[in-house]
Amino acid sequence: MYKIGDKVKVRQDLEINKDYENVCFREGMKNYKTVTIKKIEESGSYCVEENDFWYSDEMFKPLHRELKDVRYGDVITNGEYYSYIFGRCDEAIFISCEEKTIEKAKKAASLRYYSLLEFLRGYEGWKIVQDEPDEKETDIIEIENIKIAERERIIKWANEYMETSTKHYGTNFYGVCLEDLKNFIKSL
């Protein structure tokens, strides 16, 4: 899957002394977050520049993902502004408004809600710059763990929320209050 010279992230959820595609994840391997592929064996295992351990495909994740693959906890930027992905529900994205700093984007009180297509059009040219949420972050909406039927209810709720807001404010409204969204999800 990877080639010589590729920089990849070592998954941080791997268990020590467990085999992944016939390669054992050792204690010292957990100290490396990013490595560079130096050699590929016929078996498909990888030798890296940073240490003498061997790795398998399953132990890595790509260093860069495309915008269409955003998930909760990602920070995206256009080089000037930052937005934080608070949640993703299949083809729906809950994202903070654009802010000048990552910290401000993460602390947003209101969110925008887009379909994936609207999101990709509106944020064309933006890149994922941080793709691992801080362990202490509490405002991430883990929609991925919600049942499919309930996901549909969340999307329906967000659409109705925006319709009501648009009627009330008399403009095309894309904001969703973070607390309102969290409370709705808790009610499921």
Q: Let me know whether 108 and 183 are in one domain.
A: yes
Residue 27's pLDDT is what?
92
| 24-72 pLDDT, tens digit each | 999 999 899 889 999 999 999 999 999 999 999 999 987 777 888 888 7
In a domain, 168, yes or no: yes
The per-residue pLDDT for 117 is 87
User: In this structure, are 170 and 93 located in the same domain?
Assistant: yes
Question: Is 2 within the bounds of a domain?
Answer: no
Paired tokens of 174: 């894309």
Same domain, 38 and 74: no
CA–CA separation, 113 and 81 (whole Å) = 18
Q: Which residues of the chain have pLDDT under 70?
A: 90, 109-110, 131-155, 159, 161-162, 164-188
- Residue 74 shares a structural domain with residue 156: yes
Measured distance CA(185)–CA(188) in Å, rounded: 5
Q: Do 72 and 50 share a structural domain?
A: no
**pTM score:** 0.53
Residues 49 and 94 occupy one common structural domain: no
Residues 53 and 82 in one domain: no
Residues β-bridged to residue 88: 93
Which of 62, 81, 97 represents a domain boundary (last residue)? 62
pLDDT for position 79 = 87
Q: Do 85 and 172 fall into the same domain?
A: yes
Domain count for the chain:
2
Judge if 105 and 175 occupy the same domain.
yes
In the prediction, which pLDDT does 184 show? 65
Range of the domain at 28: 7-62
Are both 53 and 136 inside the same structural domain? Answer: no
Helix (DSSP H) and strand (DSSP E) numbers for the chain: 4, 13
